[in-house]
Amino acid sequence: MSEHLTTVAGVTIDTRHFIGGERVASTETFTDVSPIDGSSLGEISRGTAMEGAAAVAAAKAAFPGWAATPPAERARILRAVADGVDERAEELAIVETNDNGALLRSHRRGIMPRVAHNFRFFADWLLKLDHEDFTTRGHTNHVSWDPAGPCVLITPWNAPLMLATWKVAPALAAGNTVVLKPAEWSPLTASLLADIAAGAGLPAGVLNVVQGYGSEIGDALTAHPDVRRISFTGSVPTARHIAASAAAHLTPLSLELGGKSPLLVFADADLDLAVDLAVEQYDNAGQVCLAATRILVEETVAAEFTRRFTDKASRLRQGDPRDEATDIGPTIHPRQLEKIDGFVQRALAAGARAVVGGRRGEGHYYAPTLLTDVAQDSEIVQEEVFGPVLTLQTFTDEDEAVRLANGTRFGLAATVATGDPERAERVTARLVAGTVWVNCFFVRDLQAPFGGSRQSGVGREGGNWSFDFYCDVKNTVTAPKGWKVHG
């Protein structure tokens, strides 16, 4: 086997970059490690500024042709990419599970179908993208969406392919070219996506994939003068660096950042439903930006809620994510595990009480944890842990519930459990969040705007919002008196 190929669960993956339709190796590599057992999944080409610049140059060269491609043809190719994802869905699922530790059953049943849907949705939306013409003093206004140019898309490790294609699909549908930089802890399915896209007929240079550390390749991408859009999902500190890097050329940014979302449980809620919603926050070992990690319960039902929560959480099975019976898999990386445990141990030392968990397991696993007796201004309440760690606080009325819910620097999402529709309307109107769920969680439609408030992000994507970001929106105004031809 070539030194640039690796095999994961029988699936062969090229570990080189994909630039201008060709595989390109770097002189240095980094080791990709499975969180399941710490085994090596392969030596991955470690990009530098040179590969970053080459990828942007390839995207720039391919842009005029792809931008001029009729929308119907762009849509056809995107649907072919979706078909390719469907054909390789099982391979993608098993590779992703080995690479980031999320449940195989979730990848099979939900994630990979959603990846294909991302391409089909934006292909369809492209063909119906329209703004009704309107008149101003007899003049006709016509709104159109012009492709912006090469886009740099930087994606996280917790849902690698799904979150990448949330960005890739609309960027390509809009007529842009793309440089995709996946997280170094989970790069493998991005490489497979490059193969699938090429097989679907996507022209060379329209989608480029570069791997490596942000500190070594990131600035070459985000500070490049030929990049016209940057979309990033990740941490607030990294976003600040990207924003500073992009500022020199005023490159527009879309940033989906951290969260410390609340789940508000009122006394009139269906407690069994509320408990189900709370336990669901352990999904993907708590490595979900939208997770409602701060459980806020009305004081009169807090004891009963805690009893039911403890009972349900105790029945969760943690183990190998390839096992269909597993409910919670591993934490992605030893560094992340140390970070999680540090948060918990500092909270316990400060007086918090672990009602559930509060300890490390073997390997990369951290026990599902619920901490009580925590202060609103404590680190564990204010900072994103990004692991299977929840806190529980109580409130006495709506005003206090909203004050606690809004009492962080974040504003990505919120969940409300109540049996009173009027209360739901009052409370949701006061919550600072990009998405609010009432008596449900993680219902996500690509037609809807998605993004965060405060330090949870900048901008919105989804439906028309995606095209507004990935395009230069143009208004053409035509005089009412017709045309006079000069000969």
Catalytic residue selected from 256, 298, 384, 461: 256
- Smallest CA-to-CA distance from 267 within 401, 392, 391, 372 is with 401
Gap between the Cα atoms of 239 and 222, Å rounded? 11
299 is catalytic: no
Per the structure block, which two tokens stand in for 218?
A: 């990131």
Catalytic residue selected from 51, 96, 151, 289: 289
Radius of gyration of the chain (CA): 24
289 is catalytic: yes
E runs forming strands in 63-183: 134-136, 139-147, 151-154, 178-181
At 403 the three-state DSSP class reads: helix
Query: What is the DSSP track for 165-234?
Result: HHHHHHHHHTT--EEEE--TTS-HHHHHHHHHHHHTTPPTTSEEE--S-IIIIIHHHHT-TT--EEEEES
Q: Angle 463-470/112-128 helices, nearest 10 degrees? A: 70
Q: Angle 89-100/160-173 helices, nearest 10 degrees? A: 130
Gap between the Cα atoms of 160 and 107, Å rounded? 11
Classify each residue of 301-312 as buried b or exposed e, where b means 16 or more C-beta atoms within 10 Å of its C-beta: bbeebbebbeee
Query: Count of residues for the chain?
Result: 487
Q: What is the pairing mode between strands 294-298 and 29-33? A: unpaired
Q: What is the DSSP letter of 450?
A: B
Compute how many other C-beta atoms are within 10 angstroms of the C-beta atom of residue 345. Answer: 14
- Smallest CA-to-CA distance from 190 within 168, 170, 220, 222 is with 168
Gap between the Cα atoms of 346 and 101, Å rounded? 26
- The catalytic residue positions are 256, 289
